Structures are given as C-alpha cells and as structure tokens.
Amino acid sequence: MLNDITLGQYFPGNSPVHRMDPRMKLILTIAYIVGVFMVSNLPGYAIALAFLYLVARVSGIRFAYLVRGIKPLRFILIFTFVLNLFFVEGETVLVSLGFFTLTLEALRNACFFAARLVFLVMGTSVLTLTTSPIQLTDGLERLMKPLQRFRFPAHELAMMMTIALRFIPTLLEETDKIKKAQMARGADFESGNLIARAKAMIPLLVPLFVSAFRRANDLAMAMEARCYRGGDHRTRLRELRYTKLDLYGLLATAAFIAIIIVEGKLLG
Amino acid sequence: MANMDENRIVASHLSYAYPEAERSAVKDVSMRVKKGEFLAILGHNGSGKSTLAKLFNALYVPSEGTVWVCGLDTKEDEHVFEIRQHAGMVFQNPDNQIVATVVEEDVAFGLENNGVEPALIRVRIDEALRAVNMSDHALKAPHLLSGGQKQRVAIAGVLAMKPDVIILDESTAMLDPSGRQEVMNTVHRLNDEEGISVVIITHYMGEAATADYVVVMDEGRIAMSGTPREVFTRVDEVRRLGLDVPPMTDLAHMLRADGVSVRADVLTVDEMVEEVCRLSSKI
Amino acid sequence: MSIVIENLNYTYMAGGPYETQALREVSLTIEDGEFVGLIGHTGSGKSTLVQHLNGLLMPTSGRIMVDGLDLADKNTDRRAIRRRVGLVFQYPENQLFEETVEKDIAFGPKNLGLDDKEIDRRVRDAMRRVALDYDTLHERSVFELSGGQMRRVAIAGVLAMEPQVLVLDEPCAGLDPRGREEILSLIRNLHSECGTTIVMVSHSMDDVASLAERVIVMNKGQVFMDGVPRDVFSRGEELRAIGLDVPQAVQLAEKLRARGFAVPEGIYRVEEIKAAIEAIVGKGEKHA
C-alpha cells in the first residue's frame, strides 16, 4: 500500500523539469491546476492530459507511474463520483429507478469532478517526483518570504517541513519495531471491535511518542550545537536562480492556459 | 588566563548542576585539551562525562568555574556561536542529529547557520565529505545509510565548520563493530593529518586505549587521569569505577597474580606476544 | 522443545525495486536447553532469522516447526508460538509504555489471558530473575529508571511470558561495562538455573565466547558456520574474510603459534590462553 503512493515521492534525475527552479515549478503547478479547473468540456480535458503527458515525457517519468499514483485515491474518487451522481440536479433524465433519478448533468458533473481530482493529483505528483523535498521546502520558504513582513513564520514552517520529511522514514521504521516487540509479548493489533483495536494501539503509541519527544530533544541540541539560530542571516547552499528553463516552463504553461481559455470560448 | 597557543579547551574548577537537581552532575573539574591532542573521557553511565562534554561547547553554561574554548569564555553570550564553531560536537544517536533529507544539505547546515557564502559552502562540504570518505553518498537520503556512515556525515557537518576540536559524545555507542571502526579511523586520521584535537566520550576501553590521554570520571569528579597505559594498569581501581580494562591488560593482570612477571601495562595482543617472547627467552 | 528450520528463504519487498533476499536456504535445528550465539555483521540476516523464530515474519518459502507446530500453517495459533518463544529486541526499553514497572511486566501475561494471581506471581518471579527488587520498584514509573534498569524491566516483560526459548537480539547494545555484565550474568543464570534455551545475537565475540555452547555464524543470508565455539573460532581466517573478528584470546593464541610456541589448538577462553602462557613461561617463578 505504502509503495503505491507516488504523491510526495521523489525520483532523482537530471531532466529539464528536474533542473527548473522549485519556485517556478510551484507556481506553474498551481497555474496548471487552475487551468484544469477552468476546463468544462471533453476536448479541454484531452488538452490537459496531453500537456501532462508532455511534461512527464520531458521529465523522464513514465506516464504509467503517474497513473498508478491514483490507485490509492480510488475510494475517494468513487465516493465523490457517486455523491455527484446523487446530489447534482439536472433536467435531462437518463434513468429513473424509483427515488433515484440519474440525469445527464449529474453524470457530466461527476465525471468532470473526478477528472479534476485526477489531474490535481497527477499534476502535483509531477512536481514532487521531479523536485526533492528540500528544494520544495526551499521554494516554499522563498515564495512565502515576502509574507514574513506580516510576521508570517516562513522559515520556521519550512524548517518544520524539512524535519518532518527527514524523520518520517525513521519513525515508520520505529513503529514497525515497536509493533513487533509488543506482538512478541502477545499483543494483538488485528482482531476485536473498534474500541478493542483503539485500546490495543496504546502500547504502540505511547512508546512512539516517548521516542519522538526524545528524538526532538536530541535534535534540538544537535541543531544548537551546529549554531542554529533561526532564519535571520542564514545563507543557503543552493541559491535559487531562474534560468532559461524556467522561462520555457512558464511559456509552455501560459500557452496551455491560453489554449484552454480559447477552447472554452469556442466550444462554450 | 591559560596559554591559548597550546590549549584548545581549558576547564577550571568547573561545576554544573542541572536545573532543579539536588546534586551537581559535574564537580570541581579542572582539565585541558591540548592542541592536536586525542583525549578520551571515560566513565560509567551517569558519571558526568556527557555533561562535561556539553560544557565544552556552551550547550551548558557552568554553575561554577569557567571553560575557555580557544580562549573564549563560554559564559559570555556573544561568543556562543564562535565557540560552537571552534568546538564541534557529534552526538550518540546517529538518527537524531541529521537535520536535512540529503547528505550534502546536512553537511551544509552549520555553515548556512553561520551565514557563509554559498560558493564557499560548496567548497567546504565537498572537502568535508572527502575527508570522511562519503563523497559518493553526497546526494543520498540519510536514512538509507548505515550507522557508521551516518556518524561520518555528522562528523563532516562539524568538519565543514573548520573546528579546532571535535567532541564525540558517545558517538560509537550505538554502532556495530565495523561502524565503530569507521568512526574511530576517521577521527584518528583527522587528528593525525589535520591536527584537529579530538575528545571522545566513551565506555569502550579499546577506543580509549588509542588516545593520548585518558580522564576517568566518577560521581562528577575526575577519578583518574594519565596515559592509557598509566590508567589501565590500575586494573582494580578501574573496575571499581564500573569500567573494564582491555582484555590483554586483564590477562596480564591475571598472569601477574599467578606470579608470571609480564609487564602490567600491556594493552594489545601484539604487546602480549612480545612479553611472552621476552619471558620465554629468559627461561 | 526444539525449533526446526528447513530451507528457509525470506525476501523483503518482493517484486519492488528494493527487493532483497535476506535469508537463503537456511536449515538448522535448535535443541532444547542449548545456548546458541548468533553472530554476523549488520545485514547478514541474523535479525531477520530471529524474527522468524516466533512468527513475527513468515517465510517466503521453507518451513519452521516450533515444538511440532508449523508456523506457516494457517491454523497454528501465533500466540501459542509466542508463549513458547520469547523475543527480546534490540534496545527493548523502547517498547515500555505502562505507568508502572509492575503493569508493564504484566502486559505479556495479561495478553495470555492469565488470572490476576498468576500474573502477580509471574511479575514477581520475572523481576527476581532480572535482579530488580519488587518492593522498591514495582510501583515506580518505568521512565524514572536508569538505562540499565529499563533494559531489565523490558527483559522481565518477556520472561513473564515464561517462554521455553528466549531469543535476545543484542541484549547489551549501548550499555556501559557494568550494565553489560549485569545483563550477561542474568542470561547466564537463566540458562543454567532455569534451563531456558537461549539464542543470543551479539556483535561481541568475547561475549559469545564466554557464554555460548554453540555458535552460528551468518553471512549474506546464509549459515556460514555452525558448531561449538572451539571449532568455529579456530577458523579465524575464514571469519576475518567475512569481516568478523575472533576473540582476543584466539588472536593471541594464533600469534603465539606463529612465533613457534606450542599453544594447544582450539583455545578461545581467557583462562585457557592464560594456562597456555603459564605452560610456556612457567608459573609462579619470579624472573627478576
């Protein structure tokens, strides 16, 4: 299950997309999603798909890999799809079964909504697959920097994200170990009703929290020992600089949005 | 004040009590770490050795007495960051001291904090990673490394700041034998080749035996000090302090108890072989 | 009670990009009452192997029989296996979670569905065996104890299951010499007094040499050597070739032999090498 999640994973590489500035990639991802949300007909989605396919090709990511990333989302997709079928009102009745009426509008809506979700996830996946977590946090920190004037803790947020990303694998490993240690003492995490199962989590969660606090404590001291003193006066190993690649990315995305708008106008 | 050309760290009548603790963890300790010296601080758990280490780079500030690091008093706030750059510290748990998600970014952490120019950071981290033999892993995620490799990354992070002293606070305690060897080889090489002073806090006698000088802590005080040979020869005393002696020193001690006149200060297998040769040729 | 392992294979993350075969065709039998030292460097498969002994991991292929029960059989009650084979993980103090020492040790017996009287007996008994005083410590919080005490509470928590086989993964990791000695002596006592079968994973050749009756060396997921310590440690060259050490007593014996001294083969204990040296240089005479 964990192996299926492409969102948030990073595929090291050296493609033009990999080499783009993370700030630009963040902005363009948002622009792409906005573009997808403006689409309201089938050819529009085809264009959005083609664009995504192109970007995936340029970045050296197999398109099938992106598609597989949707798998963990299938329940949410089905749920929203069904929800839309039921609750969107329309006039063109397709099927009518007692209290349930399926209208063309509802079907359309459900399909488009699902498509938007899929594009949202795949688009964001392209971003995270081609951008290392550290670049991503760097990009976010610098994009949010102007907000620091309004006491927005941009550096602190970015630092928190970095540390969280750094410790997720460690804590996952630790969870597995504690779980096994408690199972060796006869603990049962799998059977019983909801309450019994929730109670069974205590022997897992308490040690995990204790360990997380100890790690946090250790890390704080290690950071202090390495002269950490907040974001002021801090320099970075990687200076972010916009290059020609970013310009190409910007132009391509702009073209995509322009086409979407024109296409929308033409086909209504 | 002490002569700073010779001494990297000077502690004078140093005491430290944790907030709200009844007893001091470190009591009236006076010692120094010389330029280029490899010093081991030994002691059982709770003997105050780790507390002492944290007083050496201003993570803790003395309750009484003074610590000078490269001539700077750790009590003076304005020197704190300079002191930490002079005296770098590597901690026990390899997982809990790496901040970044990429090896080279982590090595850069200290330099970034000190506002070093990006171009210079690049040069320094490349140097540091080369010095600990981790250049090939520069772009890896830390959690994919072995314990010994993680500790070498931590050492590189300290090294990149061009320290005069590296303090290893039980940095080998959680490693397997090969990881321990990697770390010890690395710090010995830095000590030999770059002349960086090294302070290791440990309870592995084998590691302490490779030091120039050994300080044994007990109940927050210095209980014994001297060269490893001088200290380990006092086998019974070392045992009373909750420590081991190297197996060969122990063997020499047992042989002497049986009336075999091997030297009492044997530390290694090779030395024991020489002793047996010497004694057998006399028969 | 014996543990029989036949052609055990185990693969992590089968089919994925990080697929690794951790165990290859491991076959061995652990007999009742043995003291087995399991050695091998990190990644040799020893931790994976011990997790199979009580069914925490299931073989990718091959068979494990614990006390006649087939682990892979769907009808086998895992907990019946875990009652027979206790596993103490590395840094076991990280699993402590209850408010008091007593409650934490009682966790295992409670899971076995025992009554309060029996649980109480087991808690007291387990604490006695790990040399923790019941009266002064049973109501203390586990998080107030020293590192060595926490480790012993964790071991007591497994002992309270009263397993016939106790598997310990690096029980002395991270402890200072005094703590190490305490743990080793309690393991020694469990074996000699209670007759518990012990499987101890260790990186310390000297610890294994001083305790184990049988040594299994793992390398690259396979059993590399299996025999009495005397035989295993006499193959120093082969051990060094796979990155392992031999006890210092063995190193000394090898080097003395190389210098032409008559040191008996198979020596691996400090007392033995001492006797050998005394035979060479003579005992009790003072060479002035």
Q: Which residue has the tokens 């300290």?
A: B158
Closest approach of C165 to chain A, Cα-based (Å): 12
Highest mean pLDDT among A82-86, B3-7, B276-280: B276-280
C86 contacts C158 by C-beta, under 8 angstroms: yes
How many A/B residue pairs have CB atoms within 8 Å?
Answer: 99
Going across the sheet that includes C3-12, the strands are: C20-30, C3-12, C61-66, C69-70
CA distance linking residue A46 with residue A256, whole number of Å: 12
CA C118 to the chain's CA centroid: 27
Residue A148 inside a domain? The answer is no
Q: Which residue among C13, C56, C94 sits closest to A183, beta carbon to beta carbon?
A: C56
Which residues on C lie below 8 Å from A186 (Cβ)?
A: 79, 82-83, 107-108, 111-112, 161
Average the pLDDT over B145-174 and give the result: 95
| Residues A211 and A259 reside in one and the same domain | no
C239 touches chain B (CB under 8 A): no
The β-bridge partners of B40 are: B200, B214
- Residue A198: the pLDDT is 84
- Residue A99: the pLDDT is 72
Which parts of C13-158 are beta strand (E)?
20-30, 35-39, 61-66, 69-70, 85-88
User: What single-letter amino acid sits at A116?
Assistant: R
The answer to whether A181 contacts C89, with C-beta atoms less than 8 Å apart, is: yes
Residue A142 inside a domain? The answer is no
| Residues A221 and A245 reside in one and the same domain | no
Tokens of B99: 């901040």
| Residues A120 and A251 reside in one and the same domain | yes
Nearest CA in chain A to B142: A166
Q: Which residue has the tokens 């700077």?
A: B72
Nearest CA in chain B to C255: B273
A12 touches chain B (CB under 8 A): yes
Cβ contacts of C226 within 8 Å, gap of 6 or more: C28, C214, C215, C216, C217, C232
A164 touches chain B (CB under 8 A): no
Q: Which residues of B touch A (CB under 8 A)?
A: 54, 57, 59, 81, 84-85, 88-89, 91-93, 95-102, 104-105, 108-118, 121-122, 125, 139, 141-143, 157-158, 161
The β-bridge partners of B29 are: B14
Q: Which domain holds residue A175?
A: 160-225
Tokens of C63: 């068979």
DSSP one-letter code for A190: S
Q: Model confidence at A191, in pLDDT bands (50, 70, 90)?
A: confident
Task: Please state, rounded to an integer, the average pLDDT across all residues of chain A.
Answer: 87
From the list C195, C130, C132, C181, the residue with the least C-alpha distance to C158 is C130
| Residues A126 and A245 reside in one and the same domain | yes
C288 touches chain A (CB under 8 A): no
C285 contacts B259 by C-beta, under 8 angstroms: yes
Collapse the DSSP code of C58 into the 3-class scheme (helix H, G, I; strand E, B; otherwise coil) and give the result: coil
Tokens of B237: 């005393």
CA distance linking residue C109 with residue C160, whole number of Å: 6
Residue A149 inside a domain? The answer is no
DSSP one-letter code for A131: S
CA distance linking residue C196 with residue A15, whole number of Å: 60
Suggest the residue from B50, B253, B268, B269 to mutate for an interface test with chain C (most C CBs closer than 10 A).
B269
Suggest the residue from C94, C146, C281, C283 to mutate for an interface test with chain B (most B CBs closer than 10 A).
C281
DSSP one-letter code for B25: S
User: What single-letter amino acid sits at A123?
Assistant: G
Tokens of A116: 């938007």
With contact defined as 3+ CB pairs under 8 Å, the chains touching B are A, C
Task: State yes or no: pLDDT of B20 exceeds 70.
Answer: yes
For chain C (length 288 residues), average pLDDT per consecutive 10?
92 75 94 95 91 91 90 82 93 94 95 94 95 94 91 96 95 90 94 94 90 95 95 92 90 93 90 92 61
Which residues on B lie below 8 Å from C274 (Cβ)?
A: 251, 254-255, 258
Average the pLDDT over B136-165 and give the result: 94
User: What single-letter amino acid sits at A1?
Assistant: M
Nearest CA in chain A to C94: A207
Residue A69 inside a domain? The answer is yes
DSSP one-letter code for B20: T
Q: Are strands C61-66 and C3-12 parallel, antiparallel or unpaired?
A: antiparallel
The answer to whether C278 contacts B258, with C-beta atoms less than 8 Å apart, is: yes
CA distance linking residue A80 with residue A78, whole number of Å: 6
Distances (CA, A) of C111 to A96, A224, B2, C79, C87: 55, 44, 63, 9, 15
| Residues A179 and A55 reside in one and the same domain | no
- Residue B115: the pLDDT is 92
Task: Kindly compute the dihedral angle of the four CA atoms of residues B99, B105, B111, B115, in this order, to the nearest 10 degrees.
Answer: -100
- Residue A8: the pLDDT is 59
DSSP one-letter code for B90: E
| Residues A47 and A14 reside in one and the same domain | yes
From the list B206, B191, B210, the residue with the least C-alpha distance to B247 is B206
CA distance linking residue C245 with residue A209, whole number of Å: 38
Collapse the DSSP code of B174 into the 3-class scheme (helix H, G, I; strand E, B; otherwise coil) and give the result: coil
Sign of dihedral through CA atoms C269, C272, C274, C280?
negative
Closest approach of C117 to chain B, Cα-based (Å): 37
Fold topology of B7-245: Rossmann fold (3.40.50)
Task: Identify the helix (H) or strand (E) that includes residue B240.
Answer: helix B235-240
Residue A266 φ/ψ, nearest 5 degrees:
-65, -45
- Residue A2: the pLDDT is 44
Tokens of C277: 């040296």
Collapse the DSSP code of C82 into the 3-class scheme (helix H, G, I; strand E, B; otherwise coil) and give the result: helix
Q: Which residue has the tokens 């039998």?
A: C29
- Residue C16: the pLDDT is 63
C40 contacts C47 by C-beta, under 8 angstroms: no
Q: Where are the alpha helices (DSSP H) in B24-146?
A: 49-55, 80-86, 103-113, 118-131
The answer to whether C107 contacts A187, with C-beta atoms less than 8 Å apart, is: yes
Q: Which residue has the tokens 């606070």?
A: B169
In percent, the amount of chain A with pLDDT more than 90 equals 37
Task: Kindly compute the dihedral angle of the four CA atoms of residues C238, C244, C246, C251, in this order, to the nearest 10 degrees.
Answer: 80
Tokens of C29: 């039998």
Average the pLDDT over B2-29 and give the result: 87
Q: Where are the alpha helices (DSSP H) in chain A?
A: 16-19, 22-38, 42-59, 63-68, 74-87, 104-130, 133-144, 154-184, 194-200, 202-225, 244-267
With contact defined as 3+ CB pairs under 8 Å, the chains touching A are B, C
Can you count the helices (H) and strands (E) in chain B?
11, 10
Which residues on C lie below 8 Å from B280 (Cβ)?
A: 261, 280-281
| Domains delineated in chain C | 1-76+164-177+194-241 (3.40.50.300), 247-282 (no CATH)
- Residue B153: the pLDDT is 97
CA distance linking residue C38 with residue C50, whole number of Å: 9
Residue A231 inside a domain? The answer is no
CA distance linking residue C188 with residue C166, whole number of Å: 12
C54 touches chain A (CB under 8 A): yes
Task: Kindly compute the dihedral angle of the four CA atoms of residues C192, C197, C200, C204, in this order, to the nearest 10 degrees.
Answer: 30
Task: State yes or no: pLDDT of A114 exceeds 70.
Answer: yes
DSSP one-letter code for B47: S
The answer to whether A177 contacts C51, with C-beta atoms less than 8 Å apart, is: no
CA distance linking residue B103 with residue B124, whole number of Å: 14
Domain count, chain A: 2
Residue A61 inside a domain? The answer is yes
Residue A15 φ/ψ, nearest 5 degrees:
-75, 165
Give the CA angle between residues C137, C143, C146 to the nearest 5°. Answer: 70
C177 contacts C98 by C-beta, under 8 angstroms: no
A66 contacts A56 by C-beta, under 8 angstroms: yes
CA distance linking residue C209 with residue C231, whole number of Å: 11
Cβ contacts of C161 within 8 Å, gap of 6 or more: A185, A186, C82, C83, C86, C108, C109, C112
| Residues A67 and A185 reside in one and the same domain | no
Tokens of A87: 């609750």
The answer to whether C277 contacts B255, with C-beta atoms less than 8 Å apart, is: yes
The answer to whether C286 contacts B244, with C-beta atoms less than 8 Å apart, is: no
Q: Which residue among B105, B122, B157 sits closest to A226, beta carbon to beta carbon?
A: B157
Task: Please state, rounded to an integer, the average pLDDT across all residues of chain B.
Answer: 92
| Residues A92 and A169 reside in one and the same domain | no
- Residue C253: the pLDDT is 94
Which residues on C lie below 8 Å from B270 (Cβ)?
A: 255
- Intra-chain end-to-end CA distance of chain A, in Å: 41
- Intra-chain end-to-end CA distance of chain C, in Å: 58
Tens of pLDDT, residues A125-165: 899 889 887 788 889 888 988 888 888 888 888 888 888 88
Nearest CA in chain B to A12: B139
